[in-house]
A and B are shown apart, each in its own frame.
Chain A
Amino acid sequence: MGSYIARRLLSGVITIWFIATATFFGMHAVPGDPLLNDKAVTPEIRANLERAYGLDKPVPQQYLIFLGNMLQGDFGISFTQQNRRVNDIIAEHFPVSATLGVLALLFAAGGGIVFGALTALFRGRLPDYLIMLLVIVAVSVPSFVFAGLGQLAILQLNRLVGFSLLPVAGWGSLSHMLVPSLVLGLGTMAYLTRLMRSSMLEVAETDYIRTARAKGLTPQRIFFRHQLRNAILPVVTVLGPAIAAITTGGFVVELVFAIPGLGRYFVQAVQQLDYTVIMGTTVFYGAFLVLMVIAVDIAYGFIDPRIQVNKSLS
């Protein structure tokens, strides 16, 4: 088990190096000039700016400097928020995105498993059709629509009760997180519902369920001990990437609900060609995704004892 984790971590480091390198050169290949602004600057000021950001050196040398700094865990100063270190930006804003993401994932996983199981139980009946219809809506409607609708719904609710029951936007308390995390988790919840449904139906056809039924187990025991537990495995598999997708995909939700998360930096940095923030957030999220995938693979072994990581993947 120990050597397995070590091997996975090593390949993770190589993956992160690859992400960093590809992003670095991709970013420099993107057309546009990060130092240009509305007002033109004189060649002298331009030269001073290039020196200040280390852009006066050739790109390969910039890359080596970047790699050296990255190994020391330093991503430099943001181009747009010029008094903030990228490390500080990540440290201050990632916990916000992570909190929102974890809550969204709780909604998504909880809802996905419950609704997926329900559709399987009621297969071909009204609850099945109803939930699957909602799933299609949740998958196809983009999150900015849900975010806007969610905010309007809060507004109407507050007007109805006559005081601020839920905050319209902002960050600070759990009440701030409720609607944004629901909105954020909705797409994943729909996806997990479908996954859970097909997985449940597949398990229902297996021999061991028939055996369980034949030996006279109660339906609830079959449902919880055999069907649900086995059907949940594929859902766990996608949880790793889902965590990363939810924590990085909060851009729209963070924007609409004025939440100071990292998601908006991740997107806006690319729009504004903020080189250091692009590198910092990409490498950080890349590392986060790699870690999540490894964590899920390890968690797999605990959920399903049939999968033995140290043998099957050596």
Chain B
Amino acid sequence: MTRGCSDHCTWQRGRTPRPTMRSTLLIVAAVLGWALALAGNAATPAVDRGNNEISIAITQEPQWLTTIRATDTVSFTVLDHITEGLLTRDVNNRLVGGVAERWELSDEKATFWLRRDARWSDGEPVTAHDFVFAWRQVANPENAAEYGFLMRMLPNGEAILAGDMPPEALGVEAIDDHTLVVHLVSPTAYFLDLVSFITFRPVREDFYRAQGGRYAADAENMISNGPFILTEWVHDASMRMEKNPYYWNRDAIPLDAINVPYITRDPNARFNLYLDDKIALADQLQLSAMKMALQQHQKLRSFSDGTVFYLGFNHREGRPTGNRNLRRAIQSVYDVSELTYKVIGVPGNLPAYTLFPAWLTGDEGQSLNVQYPPHKPELSIERGRRYLELAKQELGVEEVPPLSLLLDDTANASSQAEYFQNVMARTLGLEVRLDKQIFKQRLAKMSAGDFDIVAAGWGPDYNDPMTFADLFVSWNLNNRGRYSNPEYDALIREAQQTTDQRRRNAIFSRIQDIIYEQVVVVPQYERGYIYALDKRVAGVRRYHIGGDPNYNYAYIVESPRAPESAD
């Protein structure tokens, strides 16, 4: 049909090449037909009841699926399904025994007795030596692990990281195959929580060495001691995790497999896949998707991911923001609830009045924020202007010079910064100049102290207020505004030396006061997400720390509830 039609075509209506159009249409139809013939058979459904599997999407390719060096949430998410630490979290998010059956924690050391039925996915037992090897690798300078600093809690950790001692000197020992003793430099109240973190998971030496530098590079270079095994991994395209038949607690794991057929950063693409019944959970949706979902009576959920965003000040000498009254002026007029509800507008985000997010626990399991309520600044333009006048006098200037606000070059960061800029101009007459940079350059300028104010965020590394509280001690490298206060430092030192949780919580409350009174930073909001979860799936857990979401205990419900109407 595609043969040139110079000798058999008939021409009608002047020069209209009708047969050409007809053959073009035929070609297009043929291509379409070919495509359609192949369609619809490759994709797995969101929920496959027959095979007891679900499909999900992740937001990016995991950077490195090794517990020794992983730092990103996506790697953590996958690793949380295929590895298990000494301790782990149960269905109700409580800390329970993982590879360890029982344990003892004292001020000087922690002892873990490993369960004998904990096995790797090739049937070999998980032993105390696997933990010793893994932790030495984390401390080993050759691996340049970013979470290496966690090993400074163990004797010689610091010297090993600096290359002054061999990794074998690390203060952790395997008494026998099933007894692990960890020595501690100082009492660490949250150590049991810490050993459930990714960086403290086991790695088996013989398997690691047998990969010849390709450990965790592909699915066949990996071995699992967690509920699932990574059986397929097409880089940046898809993954598949199947239930680990050797996992000691396999009876508690409901799903037989988790498919990850899509990797995309685009939240709208994820939502469209969800609507097309291809994935069971569409995470981190945007406002546009939310509106569409509500129109279609889809149920949405919200989740606060544990990260607090704040405006950090540059406290270095010579910076106007080093002046407390200037910072108080800003604090007095900046309405973070308007920012959260009007400017950001995505449900799940909460206005923040403290550095400590709402999910942190205080005494007797109550929320730290309930036990020690944060100070909510009373907004007053008049008071703000008074502080500003004081600041001008102290700084010895007629007008405060324009302040530079350093931020990431994302749409969200921009709209928030523009709001701040507008409020400052409107209320205090302060000029704020926006300094938008790519992520790596924002960090570089932040580290170099090249800013007055910076829009930054902090996510927790372990489940203890300390992961936020020590952010502004003078020796913390993440204290990029160089805030320095001997009282603050002394309080943190005390909290690091004691395991009395009541005393520690009281200290954190005092830290909260200092951050407010001295306006070390202005907390803005606790980040939240909205997401859609298939109603046939239950038991998906959301975490503030490490990998999130988690499907270890997810299951397909027998009979889905009647469709729920939109909120």
Cα of A167 to Cα of B38 in the assembled complex, Å = 11
CB of B36 within 8 A of chain A? Answer: yes
User: Do B266 and A255 touch across chains, with their CB atoms under 8 A apart?
Assistant: yes
- B residues bordering A, Cβ < 8 Å? 4-6, 9, 11, 15-17, 20, 24, 31-32, 34-36, 38-43, 57, 61, 63-66, 69, 71, 141-149, 161-163, 214-217, 234-238, 261-266, 268-269, 272-273, 275-278, 437-441, 443-444, 447, 459, 461, 476-478, 480
User: Do A163 and B269 touch across chains, with their CB atoms under 8 A apart?
Assistant: no
| Chain A min CB distance to B33 (Å) | 11
Cα of A38 to Cα of B234 in the assembled complex, Å = 28
Residue among B149, B236, B268 making CB contact with A41, cutoff 8 Å: B149
CB of A191 within 8 A of chain B? Answer: no
A36-B447, A40-B480 known; A169 vs B272 contact (CB < 8 Å): yes
A167-B42, A170-B261 known; A83 vs B273 contact (CB < 8 Å): no
User: Which residues on B sit within 8 Å (CB–CB) of A36?
Assistant: 440, 443-444, 447
A41-B149, A256-B268 known; A169 vs B440 contact (CB < 8 Å): no
Cα of A82 to Cα of B216 in the assembled complex, Å = 10
User: Which residues on B sit within 8 Å (CB–CB) of A49?
Assistant: 144
A40-B447, A81-B63 known; A32 vs B438 contact (CB < 8 Å): yes
Cα of A167 to Cα of B39 in the assembled complex, Å = 7
A48-B142, A83-B64 known; A38 vs B268 contact (CB < 8 Å): no
Kindly list 6 other residue pairs between chains A and B, CB separation below 8 angstroms, not including A155-B272, A165-B36.
A33-B441, A36-B447, A154-B276, A175-B42, A258-B262, A260-B236
Q: Kindly report which residue of chain A lies nearest to residue B71, judged by CB atoms.
A: A37
User: Which residues on B sit within 8 Å (CB–CB) of A88?
Assistant: 235
Describe B's contact surface by its main secondary structure.
loop
User: Do A155 and B275 touch across chains, with their CB atoms under 8 A apart?
Assistant: yes
A82-B69, A121-B17 known; A165 vs B40 contact (CB < 8 Å): yes
User: Do B39 and A220 touch across chains, with their CB atoms under 8 A apart?
Assistant: no
Cα of A153 to Cα of B216 in the assembled complex, Å = 39
User: Do A220 and B5 touch across chains, with their CB atoms under 8 A apart?
Assistant: yes
User: Which residues on B sit within 8 Å (CB–CB) of A89?
Assistant: 235
User: Do A155 and B276 touch across chains, with their CB atoms under 8 A apart?
Assistant: yes
Number of interface residues of A (CB under 8 A): 67
Cα of A82 to Cα of B145 in the assembled complex, Å = 12
User: Which residues on B sit within 8 Å (CB–CB) of A41?
Assistant: 146, 148-149, 477
| Chain B min CB distance to A112 (Å) | 13
Cα of A225 to Cα of B6 in the assembled complex, Å = 9
User: Which residues on A sit within 8 Å (CB–CB) of B5?
Assistant: 220
Residue among A38, A168, A171, A271 making CB contact with B272, cutoff 8 Å: A168
User: Which residues on B sit within 8 Å (CB–CB) of A38?
Assistant: 443, 459
User: Which residues on B sit within 8 Å (CB–CB) of A84?
Assistant: 217, 235
Residue among B143, B262, B272 making CB contact with A151, cutoff 8 Å: B272
Residue among B42, B143, B217, B478 making CB contact with A173, cutoff 8 Å: B42
CB of A294 within 8 A of chain B? Answer: no
Q: Bits for A21-32, please: 1 = Cβ < 8 Å to B, else 0.
A: 000000000011
A168-B273, A169-B262, A219-B11 known; A175 vs B237 contact (CB < 8 Å): no
User: Do B6 and A220 touch across chains, with their CB atoms under 8 A apart?
Assistant: yes
User: Do B38 and A174 touch across chains, with their CB atoms under 8 A apart?
Assistant: yes
A45-B161, A49-B144, A169-B272 known; A175 vs B440 contact (CB < 8 Å): no
User: Which residues on A sit within 8 Å (CB–CB) of B40?
Assistant: 163-165, 167, 175
User: Which residues on B sit within 8 Å (CB–CB) of A171?
Assistant: 237
CB-CB nearest 6 A-B residue pairs:
A32-B441, A40-B477, A175-B39, A48-B144, A260-B237, A32-B440
User: Do A258 and B57 touch across chains, with their CB atoms under 8 A apart?
Assistant: yes
| Chain A min CB distance to B146 (Å) | 5
| Chain B min CB distance to A75 (Å) | 16
A32-B438, A48-B141 known; A173 vs B39 contact (CB < 8 Å): yes
Q: Kindly report which residue of chain A lies nearest to residue B162, judged by CB atoms.
A: A44
User: Do B276 and A158 touch across chains, with their CB atoms under 8 A apart?
Assistant: yes
